[in-house]
Chain A
Amino acid sequence: MKAKTTETTPKKAETKKQESVLTELQTKRERKVVLMQGNEAVAYGALDAGVNFFAGYPITPSTEIAEILALELPKRGGVFIQMEDEIASICAITGASLAGAKALTATSGPGFSLMQEGIGFAKITETPCVVVNVQRMGPSTGMPTSPAQGDIMQSKWGSHGDSPAIVLYPDSVKESYELTIRAVNLSEKYRTCVILLLDEVLGHMREAVRLPDMANVRVISRIKPTVPPHWYKHYDENQKYLSPLASYGEGYRFHVTGLTHDVHGFPTNKATEAAEMMERLRKKISYNIRDLVQIESHKMEDAKIAIFAAGIVSRAAKAAIAMARQEGILVGLLRPLTIWPFPDDAVRKMLRNVETVIVPELNQGQLIHEIQRLTKDKSESNVISLQRVNGQLLSPNDILRKIKEVS
């Protein structure tokens, strides 16, 4: 059909014809609007991003992710395995990734804590993988089916040693899907363990979502080496610290270790090589902040009060802003989709015009430290914390009350 069209039609018409065919295909293949949980969206996002290896251990409120992938991965020839614990899970996905897989695991707070050593290993060895943490209230076993945002700092500082983090934080079911794909893409591009933080409410909440056609999903895969094996450096410094990555079994026979290593991956005690490795880990994140950071600005143009909120809390904030604006209070919202690296520049710029910042969060004050750090010149009364840690959400009215208090 296609060949015939090319032969018989003039150039302009040909382009049009092809476009229409494409549109038709898209319409046919376009997925219906479905009612979907955040956890389901993560699972489908993972599949669409090309994840073909999942190892996990059951923990509320993340189990649906494992359950769906247990159902879907075998159909696509992918691997699903339920490991003996969370530590084994992070290790297995790292091992699989070294063998060439796009690998993901999902867990919640206590499991996330167990994984920290393995997350550090994935970071120092620069092995792509994704850890989804559907946060629940802690510390310890806490309240397994109640929301909290207590892992914001753990996601950055949880692993020992200095290890720059990439952490994404969605606020809706659709965004859970999108940011899962982004997490996989970033992990492949930057060769690191990327963390996706989800709120318990989001994991279990259902929203109507239309997943995009696969043709519109941008999938990034690791760069493969093109040099002969004896030229291959497992940690080659090329542009922006993103280097090609060979897999086991492809003839490159590289060494991977959690010890401080040189560019070939072999352990080293030399101060210069150690510093080089640490700088490399830091720079590949800090030099690419523009690519990594995403932030949403909502009604900030004329705002005198700014709310800085992530995840599910930002939705209550949006409702509160609508109510406050009806009463003439000029308030807006800043919402980071990437919480680590922290969007310093964007926040500084947008905060320049406001008098007060409210930071509502479901913890005893974690995000607020970053805002305080960036607003050193302002007095303490300009940065106001609104905290809740009782297993309940902050409602729009809670936030509205605070807005009125400070306006």
Chain B
Amino acid sequence: MATIPQRIIHEYLRHDKKFPHVWCSGCSIGIVLGAIIRAIASMNIDRDDIVMVSGIGCSSRMPVYVDFNTLHSLHGRSIAYATGVKLYKPHLKVIVVTGDGDCTAIGGNHLIHAARRNIDLSVILINNFIYGMTGGQCSPTTPQEAIATTAPYGNIEPEFNICELAMGAGASHVARTTAFHTQEVQGMVKDAINHPGFSLVEVISACPVIYGRLNKKGGAPQMMKDMRDNSIPLTAVDKLPPEKVEGKIIRGTLRRDIRPEFCAEYAKLVERVKTAEGKNEEL
């Protein structure tokens, strides 16, 4: 058999299960999945120790295809399920894959509270600015004036800046990039998994079939080019004149902060309580 270039990815997929996948051609989710797998492969983590949790939506279909412990949960609730898994077995690496609608609309509450607790979850948020699976409705990240099936005259709502939202809530590791920059995605996923605390990686993605078509973005290759041309690395922001920065997607690690992690704090509490109990019994 000829050597397949993407051998690493193939090793991690559930070939015999539910392929072909549900994603449209030109969709960025597969690129992100590839980056996640390459990041995990490069870290040599035992796949038995990985739990991939998702909610509902296009990106949330990812767990079906990968050979980890996988949980495709309720719409918006992936972080809440992941919290239960992580808290009961803290040695597991819990990766949450979610979309903009799933995580910041219905799941907004869980996102901010997990960030506040600083529980060690790695949230990979694929932001394609639209509800893809339900057919193109407005999401909290749909840009103002963009067209969606529930905003046929143009969206009048201001959008969420997801990274700022997560940082505001206390997330200790926050990064943003685009699906065009695959190496960056891979590196950021790796950083997120390595980070002891709550981490969020926002991956700006292309949805050419729905968002792109509704907003005349010119198809998948054009949307890829746009992601390349409309984003600048965080390191370049200071060097560029303000007019060149305005309206651009800033890529990079926006925060990396070590602060007490929730599961570790809980373990300390248990230790403290048990010690106190032991003393009481002696008395």
**A residues with CB within 8 A of B:** 52-53, 55, 74-75, 77, 79, 81, 83-85, 87-88, 91-101, 103, 117-118, 121, 247-259, 264, 266-267
Contact = CB atoms under 8 A, between A and B. Distances in A.
A94 B84 contact: yes
Interface of B: 14, 17-18, 47-49, 51, 53, 63-64, 67-74, 77, 80-85, 87-89, 91-92, 109-110, 113, 266, 269-270, 273-274, 277
Nearest to A259: B72
A100 B88 contact: yes
A273 B279 CA distance: 57
A259 B74 CA distance: 10
Contacts of B87: 53, 79, 81, 92, 96
A264 B87 CA distance: 26
Q: Which 8 A-B pairs have the closest CB atoms?
A: A95-B84, A91-B80, A92-B84, A96-B84, A95-B81, A257-B72, A88-B80, A96-B88
A99 B77 contact: no
Given A84-B110, A92-B87, A267-B18, A74 B53 contact: no
A88 B110 contact: yes
A280 to B, nearest CB: 19
Contacts, number: 137
B17 A264 contact: yes
Contact of B109 (A79, A81, A84, A251): A84
B62 to A, nearest CB: 11
A81 B85 CA distance: 12
Contacts of A87: 77, 80
Contacts of A75: 273-274, 277
Chain A: interface secondary structure?
A: mixed
Given A248-B92, A253-B48, A53 B113 contact: no
Contacts of A97: 84
Contacts of B88: 52-53, 79, 95-96, 99-101, 103
Given A77-B270, A118-B74, A255-B72, A99 B92 contact: yes
Given A248-B51, A249-B89, A264-B17, A83 B70 contact: no
A33 B89 CA distance: 37
B80 A99 contact: no
Given A74-B273, A101-B88, A266-B18, 15 more contacts: A53-B84, A55-B83, A91-B73, A91-B74, A91-B77, A92-B83, A95-B73, A121-B73, A248-B69, A249-B48, A250-B48, A255-B17, A257-B64, A258-B73, A266-B17
